[in-house]
Amino acid sequence: MDQSKVSDLPLPELLDVDPDALREAEKNFAQGILDTMTGKCVVRATYEETRVVVVMDDDSEYFFYGFMGESKAR
């Protein structure tokens, strides 16, 4: 990733990111991946610091990153 692109963003644009919207987008993306797993069996799932890795019975691996979990009331 070109770090100069991130550093060139004005700070208000970075602060205006809605974590709930990111979480919802990640949930929808993950659901799309899960829909492709129909008929397959999970052999192993591991929780790592930044991702969840799911290995299927056909040796395919799926990686889930990002805003997992629920939103909490403030």
Is the CB of residue 59 less than 8 Å from the CB of residue 47? no
What CA–CA distances, in Å, run from 58 to 32, 37, 41, 47? 19, 10, 8, 20
Is the CB of residue 67 less than 8 Å from the CB of residue 23? yes
Span 5-34, pLDDT tens digits: 766 766 665 567 788 888 888 888 888 988
State both tokens at 25: 């987008």
> What is the percentage of the chain residues whose pLDDT exceeds 70?
69
